[in-house]
Amino acid sequence: MRRVLRFTPAACAPSDADVLSTPGMSGGTASSVTAVLLKDAQALFLAEAEPVAVRTDLTVAEFAAIFPGEGQNAADAPLAGIFPQAERLALFACTIGRKLTDHIRRLFEKHDYALGYVLDAVASAGTDNLAQIVEDGFGSELTTQGAKVDGDALLRYSPGYCGWHVSGQRRLFATLKPEEAGITLRESFLMEPLKSVSGVLVLGPREIHRYEPGFGFCADCRNQTCRDRQTGLTPAKE
């Protein structure tokens, strides 16, 4: 089933702690100047964010035709061994909308770098929250249907990470068709609006999601969020 899901800005608005923990921010504390900028940025997010997502269920066989993308995936991409063991799969794409991302661009064009930088961090954290809401919503539906049981874990994987080449976006978009939600794809495979996330939601036994971040492509990853994901596998996510 394919769905277009719309949310209020408040549903995915990040906390100050979410924003301060993003790369390039203070790491958890805010100066008095940053606190004022953060307050203004949070207000802009609530006023201008337009959170929307598209999600569609698919089979393992259907995703097997999507995952190879343009043939540029890493040979040892973990997802290649994960998705064949999945119990349920869904493609998704979500965005906080063009209005807010355009506002960020205008701030930098006007050389208001301080507010532009903080608003960019708020938008990034809000987009991450939105992706988590989409994941959690799918998980709740699966639990209601009885498809998710003890020992299962639901995690999302995105093109551009963990050996799934960003060119995989092309086949993902061809199947999901998120243009209805205002999400498009550049020739470079970057999404418009820039504050967007896409990928596949994978439900399966918890152990299929466990892997050590020691692959060659890990050296190019700035955040290695997979470490947090591994921690989240015990206990199972609900």
Q: What is the pLDDT of residues 81-130, one digit of tens each?
A: 999 999 999 999 999 999 999 999 999 999 999 999 999 999 999 999 99
Q: Is the dihedral of CA 114, 116, 119, 123 positive or negative?
A: negative
- Would you give the DSSP letter of residue 2? E
pLDDT value of position 237 = 41
Half-sphere exposure of 43 (CA within 13 A, CB side): 7
Evaluate if residue 58 carries a pLDDT over 70.
yes
Evaluate if residue 25 carries a pLDDT over 90.
no
Q: 22 with 124: CB under 8 angstroms?
A: yes
Cβ neighbours for 132, distance < 8 A, ≥ 6 positions apart: none
- Secondary structure (DSSP) of 136-158: HHHHHHHHHHT---TTEEEEEE-
Q: What is the mean pLDDT of residues 24-41?
A: 80
Q: Which CATH number fits domain 2-231: 2.40.10.10, 1.20.58.390, 3.40.50.800, 3.40.109.40?
A: 3.40.109.40
Q: Where are the domains of the chain?
A: 2-231
Cβ neighbours for 34, distance < 8 A, ≥ 6 positions apart: 26, 118
